[in-house]
Amino acid sequence: MAKEPHTKWFRVQPIAFVRRPGADATEPGEFYDPNQETIIEVLPRWTEGLAGIEEFSHLVVLFWLDRAARLRRVQPKFAAELREELPPVGFFSTRTPRRPNPIGISCPRLLRREGNNLIVTGIDAWPGTPVIDIKGYFPRDELRLDATVPAWLQALWQRHDEERGN
């Protein structure tokens, strides 16, 4: 068995925070409608870096899941969202916040920019979540028309649609 290479620790800093009007709860597991208007409040010192961002319809937002329990070793397989009707899979196959590096990703729709605030819909982050990067969404680079997903994920999406009345 090959020895693991020595790895460096990395330091990241927040460049923004997620704000949800009317929401002050910060407990993990609390459900927030990802379609609710949400503010990504960029720290003032990074405001100039937003120049031109309002020309994008969508963003790629990376955030630090600061309230999620961090994995220190591989856990047994589990069903996504702990739904027993789904097959057990490893955590890398899911979007669980319990990860070795608790980094979340969303591609929200950018509704508008107001100074250092980006008003979006479609981000599933708790209020107060630190944002570690924002990028414009590039369909040519991000969209993969030949991408496939497992049947269990399609079933989960269908269940979400039914639960939300879509």
pLDDT at 60 over 70: yes
Domain count, the chain: 1
Tell me the per-residue pLDDT of 44-59, one tens digit each, with 9 for 90 and over: 999 999 999 999 999 9
Residue 56 sits in which domain range?
A: 16-139+148-163
Closest CA to 137 of 50, 61, 64: 61
Residue 99 within a domain: yes
Give the residue with greater pLDDT, 42 vs 96: 42
Instruction: Determine which helix (DSSP H) or strand (DSSP E) holds 139, and give its type and residue range.
Output: helix 139-142
Q: Give the mean pLDDT of 125-134.
A: 94
Residue 4 within a domain: no
CATH number of domain containing 51:
2.40.30.70
Residue 8 within a domain: no
Instruction: Determine which helix (DSSP H) or strand (DSSP E) holds 157, and give its type and residue range.
Output: helix 151-163
Residue 50 within a domain: yes
Residue 9 within a domain: no
pLDDT band with cut points at 50, 70 and 90 for residue 23:
low
- Strand pairing partners for 42? 16
3-state secondary structure of 2: coil
Give the residue with greater pLDDT, 149 vs 94: 149
Residues with Cβ within 8 Å of 118's Cβ and at least 6 positions away in sequence, in order, are: 16, 39, 40, 42, 50, 53, 59, 110, 134
